[in-house]
Amino acid sequence: MRLKISSLLATAALALSACDCCMDECLDASGQGALAAAEAAAAAEACVPGTVADFVDNVGDRVFFDFDRSHVRADGMETLQRQAAWLNTYGNYVVTINGHCDKRGTTEYNLALGERRAHAAKEKLIAAGVDAHRIKVVSYGKNRPIVEQDGSEWAYQQNRVAITVLD
């Protein structure tokens, strides 16, 4: 069960290197039955540098925004720096940055706001050396939530996001 927690935390993982965190998990998970074995397999994939799981779990695929804003915050900058370093290492990937907004808004304006958020993330990646041609953006506005919006501030935050998806 530690695995789940640590993969959730992975997006917030700061200076932990990929192998420090997941070696632990692999050891921890071994010998705990079938479920644990499956989790171990998933963790093992995350352990393989250069995979989608490595990017999502160890680098962090999402950058969060304040309400109605498209300014990249300090926490988002750190994530994007890690993304850029990773993409500069694994030059075979192209990405699409998906822009999203929480549901407390209108469909039309938020389609444009989602594009502005995704573009803000793209600019930071370019500034950190990623070739602009490797990055597409698409906005879903408020119409494709990432987590169910139960009215909690956490859910709103999860949906004010730009997600870098490896194509």
Residues within the interface to other proteins (CB under 8 A): 68, 70, 96, 103-109, 111-113, 115-116, 119-120, 123, 137-140, 143-145, 147-151
Residue 165 CB, shortest distance to other proteins, in Å, is 9
Rg (CA), the chain: 17
Nearer Cβ to other proteins (26/111): 111
- Tell me how far, at minimum, the Cβ of 136 lies from other proteins, in Å: 9
Min CB(166)–other proteins separation in Å:
13
Cβ-based nearer residue to other proteins, 20 or 109: 109
The Cα 124–Cα 122 span in angstroms is 5
Nearer to other proteins among residue 10 and residue 137 (C-beta):
137
CB of 122 to other proteins, least distance (A): 9
Nearer to other proteins among residue 15 and residue 132 (C-beta): 132
- What CA–CA distance (Å, rounded) separates 167 from 42? 20
Contact (CB, 8 A) for 53 and 61: no
